[in-house]
Amino acid sequence: MNNLLKMSPRQLFLMSSSVVHGYEYLQHAENDMSAYLKKNNVNKVLFIPYALTSHDSYTEKVGTVLKRWGFDYEGIHRAADPVRAVNEAQAIYIGGGNTFLLLKSLYDEALIEPIRNRVLNHSVPYVGSSAGTNVATRSIHTTNDMPIICPPSFNALALVPFNINPHYLDPEVGGTHKGETREERILQFHELNDAPVLGLREGSTLLVDGDRATLIGLRPARLFWRGSEPEEFQSGADLSFLLKG
């Protein structure tokens, strides 16, 4: 895994979520995501809907938006050979849903190494949302999902050398809920793990272009280091230091 960062320039667009209050589906990311795909000369997107069980309807929902933006699409579940579909893809988009189901499906279809190879060795652009962002990182240890099914490993695609917590929530000011906060759960992760964790609030995206990582979107992000106080980063912040592993 240490050699991954020496390969071809990565092109990653990692969203916290496809749905943000006050916006239609994917609307909050329309300008940035369209520009990202056009910059990488993408005409057709391979969508991977494995985080939900309704593959056809999920693909149609995402594809309708992509079509409106001027991009063609196909669902990998319709491909006769999913590995070949990845190897021929201009861009790979993995949507949100249940991260455990998604990762198990990627293992079952033998897609972990092909996706990693295409993104890291051939600079094929990768788009992730929620669960699709979780699996782009080192592991799914910092997902919020319920383990409705067990993948063979929690190790994920490792397109970046840290973890992300999509849908990061701050404690409600004056709230009466006394259960664990998202921050407390991440601190528990750091009791046993060293990897930094980037908490992406809704509407925020991590854009990776080679060795440069930039926080973009509507809201700040919160970065957690083991043994240190969390740090806040505003949209536009340079987070390239996280790519150094």
Question: What is the per-residue pLDDT across 28-53, written as a single tens digit (0 to 9) for each?
Answer: 999 999 999 999 999 999 999 999 99
42-87 pLDDT, tens digit each: 999 999 999 999 999 999 999 999 999 999 999 999 999 999 999 9
**Amino acid 8: pLDDT:** 66
The domains of the chain, with CATH numbers, are 2-244 (3.40.50.880)
Given a cut of 50, is residue 89 above it in pLDDT?
A: yes
Q: Which is higher by pLDDT, 230 or 179?
A: 230
Given a cut of 90, is residue 223 above it in pLDDT?
A: yes
**Amino acid 206: pLDDT:** 98
Given a cut of 50, is residue 141 above it in pLDDT?
A: yes
Which residues are marked as active site? 130, 145, 167
Give mean pLDDT, residues 115-137.
98
**DSSP-derived secondary structure letter, 29:** G
* 200/169 Cα distance (integer angstroms): 9
* DSSP string covering 144-162: -S--SS--S-SB---SSSS
Residue type, 172: E
* 176/188 Cα distance (integer angstroms): 22
147-198 pLDDT, tens digit each: 999 999 999 999 999 999 999 999 877 777 777 899 999 999 999 999 999 9
Buried b (16+ CB within 10 A) or exposed e, 125-162: bbbbbbbbbbbbbbbbbbbebeeeeebeeebbbbbbbb
Distance, CA of 51 to chain centre:
12
Mean residue pLDDT of the chain comes to: 95
| 46 CB-side CA count, 13 A | 22
Closest-CA residue to 71 (of 103, 49, 93): 93
* 44/202 Cα distance (integer angstroms): 26
Given a cut of 90, is residue 1 above it in pLDDT?
A: no
Given a cut of 70, is residue 2 above it in pLDDT?
A: no
**Amino acid 195: pLDDT:** 97
Percent of the chain with pLDDT over 70: 97
pTM of the model: 0.94
Given a cut of 70, is residue 6 above it in pLDDT?
A: no
Give mean pLDDT, residues 90-113.
98
Buried b (16+ CB within 10 A) or exposed e, 163-174: bbbbbbeeeeee
**Amino acid 170: pLDDT:** 92
